Amino acid sequence: MVLLQISEPGESPDLSVTRSIAVGIDLGTTNSLIAQFDGELVHVFEDDLGQPSLPSVVHYGAESTQVGDAAMALANEQPENTIASAKRMLGRAREEVVDDPYASLTTDGALAFATDQGKKTPVEVSAVILGALKIRAEAHLDSPIAGAVITVPAYFDDAQRQATRQAAELAGIKVLRLLNEPTAAAVAYGLDEQAEESSLLAVYDLGGGTFDISILRMRAGLFEVLATGGDSALGGDDFDREIARYLTTELELADPTPRQRRTLLGIARDAKQALSDSAEVEIDGSGLGSDALSASLTRQTLEALIEPYIERTLMSCRQALQDAGVDSVDRVVLVGGSTRAPAVARAVEACFGQTPLSTLDPDQVVAMGAARQADILIGNRSDNDALLLDVIPLSLGLETYGGLAERIIDRNSTIPIARAQEFTTARDGQTGLVVHVVQGERERVADCRSLARFELKGIPPMVAGAARIEVTFRVDADGILEVSAVEQQSGARSEVVVKPAFGLDELDITDMLKASYEFAAEDMVARKLAEAGVEAEALLEGLRAALAQDGDLLDSDEAQTLQQEMARLEQVLQQTDVDAIREHTEKLGRASETFAARRMDRSIQTALRGISVGQLDAESAE
């Protein structure tokens, strides 16, 4: 017999027996947090000292591994074994990353840190951080964790998202979903429940190592991300480095050692935080072995140092508004510890014309939103829970004949999404093709980013254009892309999950978007030229094959005239005049009409050879 859980009238039912445990994790560049929503409140789990943030730092000593504050305590003593900001290197290749002041990078092979415990990849470092968060949460919970929502920057590409998933798997955490950090912040504020009518929200997220801007449309029960932007390698760490460079000069440190650089970064971080409330701070350089014992840093100097970085964030904000097709928003939310800098808040207010909302702790808000979403995804949902519709940041497509990029899924399309498009072969007898997957906004493949290549074999040999090949792009809720190609007649199939070996450079995404606008007219001309060239080449190739097979159908004058028209088109193809190419293609098409008609007659005669009129009448009657 099945028993029902009953509660007295007016008494809240005890859901602890039936609720599954899911957590939200903010895997941050500087600090990480873990939280859980119990149906009423969000709890950000603290350590034994009452600290909610876990420094995203790992120390690999000869005999033990330390994480968080314990690792930071060893940073100055053993900087070469202490790794911080590993998140910035997730999904990247060795050649993309300059020497890092935090730890020693290996000089060959995959990106890894050289430690006393051997090579450690960014994925392994992140797994240690996630494992420590899991242990912290389970100490507060009565049941094991069933799953987690882990937040990532909105502009993390496929490689960076895959690397995040791998880190969670290494830590023994089941990933329910990777959620964009700005979207998580909006969930934490519950802004969808406050919006009776459609309204617009900008989430400005400036953390330790990444910056994201998202424009969302809110309605009751629904978040829709209209546009995203940002920089996956810009954040408070850059502020710290800029301050450290300034102090290196002020304290007369000619060539700082790794230990001095690490100490300087700590001093810079402390000074930056102090200047959020003070106008000036004194820097004690006595422990650095510098010639100058002290230096001062004013808020005015700090703001001058970080102004270029703030301006870079505002460029992304303006672009996001343009991409969303809106001029203004109704609210602005600040997320990330770096938004505590007064200069950042002022700049954001000036950019959007709105006083930013920052009532929740900017360091905790992302984890809080992830916890709420995790509770929904694990099955503890209600009719009023928010539905999240994220978008992909850059268009996805493939290479077509002539080096052109054919978009299958446009940027800012809501995910999860699937799109299919039919293609064909370019040459007679073609039995295979290479599917080249690209990402970007330009018309030519050379101007886009290559994601993956895979081969489709087993296409039946047919004349060019006869094969039917359906290519399907699928992007899941985590932003991971799967591409498949199927030849309709034979059923031949091939597919790939796009896992590129590296991530985008810090300015790649911004540059790609800017270039798509800057070169829009030029790209369109280039596309028209390429399309005209493909059409002309196809006609020439077809005529060459036809003349080789049925050239006897033309007399010498007719053949000479056709050859002359072909030569003129070949000559025009060497130029860049689209109209001239199209004009001569049409002229050659008209000049070959008689030849095509004779070939058709011969083909029919050959097909009917040996068939009597009676047989034709009988077949027609049937």
What is the model's pLDDT at position 13? 43
How far is Cα 213 from Cα 254, in angstroms, rounded to an integer? 38
Which is it for the CA torsion 402, 408, 412, 416, positive or negative? negative
Overall average pLDDT of the 565-583 stretch: 80
Q: Which two tokens stand for residue 204?
A: 């400005």
The closest of 202, 435, 239 to 321, measured between CA atoms, is 202
Q: Give the contacts of 365 (CB within 8 A, at least 6 positions apart).
A: 184, 185, 188, 189, 333, 335
Q: What is the pLDDT of residues 438-491, one digit of tens each?
A: 888 877 888 787 887 888 888 888 877 778 888 888 887 767 788 888 888 888
Mean pLDDT of the 78-82 span: 86
pLDDT at 237: 87
pLDDT digit string, tens, across residues 194-251: 555 678 889 998 988 778 898 988 765 566 778 888 887 788 889 999 999 998 888 8
With beta carbons less than 8 A apart as the criterion, state whether 379 and 20 touch.
Answer: yes
Q: State residue 3's pLDDT score.
A: 35
Q: Are 128 and 66 in contact (CB under 8 A)?
A: no
State how far the Cα of 580 lies from the Cα of 575, in Å rounded to an integer.
Answer: 9
Query: First vs last Cα of the chain: how many Å apart?
Result: 68
Q: What local confidence, expressed as pLDDT, does residue 383 receive?
A: 41
Cβ(317)–Cβ(329) below 8 Å: no
- The letter for the amino acid at 287 is G
Can you list the positions of beta strands (E) in 375-488? 387-391, 396-400, 404-409, 414-415, 417-423, 432-439, 449-457, 469-475, 481-487
* Higher local confidence (pLDDT), 327 or 613: 327
The tokens for 242 are: 């800029």
User: Which carries the bigger pLDDT value, residue 573 or residue 335?
Assistant: 335
CA 329, CA 588: separation in Å to the nearest integer?
Answer: 56
Mean pLDDT of 91-120: 73
Residue 523 banded pLDDT, cuts 50, 70, 90: low
Q: Is 332 helix (H, G, I), strand (E, B) or coil?
A: strand
How do strand 387-391 and strand 222-231 relate by DSSP bridges? Answer: parallel
Catalytic hit among 124, 158, 192, 205? 205
CA distance 294 to 288: 10
User: What local confidence, expressed as pLDDT, does residue 8 receive?
Assistant: 40
Catalytic residue among 87, 120, 134, 272: 87
Tokens of 263: 């100490």
Catalogue all structural domains in the chain, each as residue range(s) with its CATH number.
22-235+306-391 (3.30.420.40), 396-516 (2.60.34.10), 521-608 (1.20.1270.10)
Q: Using CA atoms, how far apart are residues 22 and 350, in angstroms rounded to an integer?
A: 39
Asked if 506 is an active-site residue, the reply is no
pLDDT at 616 over 70: no
Residues 6+ apart with CB under 8 A from 553: 595, 598, 599, 602
User: CA dihedral defined by 574, 578, 584, 585, rounded to 10 degrees?
Assistant: 100
* Spatial separation of the C-alpha atoms in residues 436 and 445, rounded to whole Å: 9
pLDDT beyond 80 at 586: yes
Q: How high is the mean pLDDT of the chain?
A: 80
Least confident of 53-67, 347-361, 416-430, 527-541: 527-541
Tell me: pLDDT of 302 over 50.
yes
Least confident of 28-32, 169-173, 586-590: 586-590
pLDDT in tens, 91-101: 877 766 665 54
**DSSP sequence for 169-202:** HHTT--EEEEEEHHHHHHHHHTHHHH-SS-EEEE
Residue 405 in this model has a pLDDT that exceeds 80: yes
How far from 519 is each of 516, 523, 525, CA to CA, in Å? 6, 6, 10
At 375, is the secondary structure helix, strand, or coil? helix
| DSSP state letters, 552-582 | GGS-HHHHHHHHHHHHHHHHHTTS--HHHHH
Q: Which residue shows structure tokens 């505590």? A: 340
> Coil, strand, or helix at residue 389?
strand
DSSP per-residue string spanning 526-537: HHHHHHHHHHHH
Q: Is pLDDT of 103 > 70?
A: no
Would you call 181 a catalytic residue per the annotation? yes
pLDDT of residue 14: 46
**β-sheet bridge partners, residue 475:** 417, 481
Give CA–CA dist 138/156, Å, rounded: 28
* Residue 514 vs residue 13, higher pLDDT: 514
**C-alpha–C-alpha distance, residues 524 and 444, integer Å:** 9
- pLDDT band (50, 70, 90) for residue 508: low
Distance separating alpha carbons of residues 264 and 134, to the nearest angstrom = 32
Please identify which of the residues 124, 181, 323, 363 carries the catalytic annotation.
181
Residue 585 pLDDT grade (very low, low, confident, very high; cuts 50, 70, 90): confident
Pairing status of strand 113-115 against strand 118-120: antiparallel
Q: DSSP string of 581-607?
A: HHHHHHHHHHHTHHHHHHHHHHHHHHH
205 is catalytic: yes
What residues pair up with 297 in beta bridges, in sequence order? 281
Range picked from 60-64, 312-316, 525-529 for highest mean pLDDT: 312-316
Q: Which residue has the tokens 């900008």?
A: 202
Give yes or no for residue 377 having a pLDDT over 60: yes
Calculate what percentage of the chain has a pLDDT beyond 90.
24
Q: Give exposure, 332-347, as e/b (b: 16+ Cβ within 10 Å).
A: bbbbbbbbbbebbbeb
The answer to whether the bond into 258 is cis (omega within 30° of 0) is no
Q: Distance between CA atoms of 221 and 388, rounded to whole angstroms?
A: 9
Q: What is the pLDDT of residue 308?
A: 94
Tell me the average pLDDT across 573-587.
Answer: 79
Which among 297, 311, 302, 283 is positioned nearest to 341, based on CA atoms? Answer: 302
The token duo for 190 is: 């519950």
Note whether 213 and 322 are within 8 A (CB).
no
Tell me, what's the pLDDT at 511? 58
Q: Structure pTM?
A: 0.59
Q: At what angle do helices 158-170 and 122-140 cross, to 10 degrees?
A: 50
| CB contact at 8 A, 507 and 231 | yes
User: Residue 384: is its pLDDT beyond 50?
Assistant: no
The predicted structure's pLDDT at residue 51: 92
pLDDT for 601 equals 75
Mean pLDDT of 376-397: 67
Using the predicted structure, report yes or no on whether residue 326 has a pLDDT greater than 70. yes
Amino acid 504: pLDDT: 43
- Does the annotation count 120 as an active-site position? no
